[in-house]
Amino acid sequence: MVEYITVVWLFLATPGPSHLLMLANGVSYGFAHARPTAWGDLSANALQIMAAGFGLAGIIIASEDVFTAIKWAGVAYLIYLAAQKWRLAGRSVPHCQADSAAPGWRRMYLQGFFTSAVNPKAVVFFAALFPQFLNLQEALAPQVAILGALYLLIDGAYLLAYGRFAAWVGARMQSRAAFWTHRAAAACLIATAVLLAWKDAQLH
């Protein structure tokens, strides 16, 4: 179990699209408004974990058409989010006014959910990782539940830490710095979309 926790911790140490989105929302709207982004991400991960447990992830990976569709949906959504952040830079508000400017809970939740749901990296990760730590001589469902819960706890800690740090930075930034932060977030999301577009599936 220590080995599994170490692998997950190291995997999540490299910021992905959801972490970048959490940073951007934390800077823009504060920690309280950014938290639904984390809950959305974790909800999508929970569904992906269940898919891995039922063997559906393997089917998705084996089907090139399905995997490609998920990949390009992810690329399109990341570009959409990048465009939102780019436009937001042009109308940045002081952090003290973030409450009135923040999108609703549902929108922030769905941003996190869809950013994670259309990321094929997560599907590949769960499908490749779980079999390495499952004992086929015992019931699989409880094992998948434990491995999944540990992943969600670690990822949740990462996401909330990113959000808290971003909110702390955002509260101390001047409007000009906020402008460039939004532009940087947009650039990072675009870069992630480009990498996702050109990265082939590693499992065949």
pLDDT in tens, 136-158: 677 777 888 888 899 999 999 99
Q: Where are the domains of the chain?
A: 2-198
pLDDT of residue 99: 52
Stated pTM of the model = 0.70
Distances (CA, A) of 143 to 6, 13, 55, 125, 129: 17, 24, 14, 17, 13
What is the spatial distance between Cα 59 and Cα 61, in angstroms, rounded to a whole number?
A: 5
pLDDT of residue 78: 67
| pLDDT < 50 positions in the chain | 96-98, 200-204
Burial 73-87 (b: 16+ CB within 10 A, else e): ebbebbbebbebbbe
pLDDT in tens, 93-114: 555 444 555 678 888 999 889 8
Collapse the DSSP code of 135 into the 3-class scheme (helix H, G, I; strand E, B; otherwise coil) and give the result.
Answer: coil
Contact call for residues 24 and 85 (beta carbons, < 8 A): yes
pLDDT of residue 40: 94
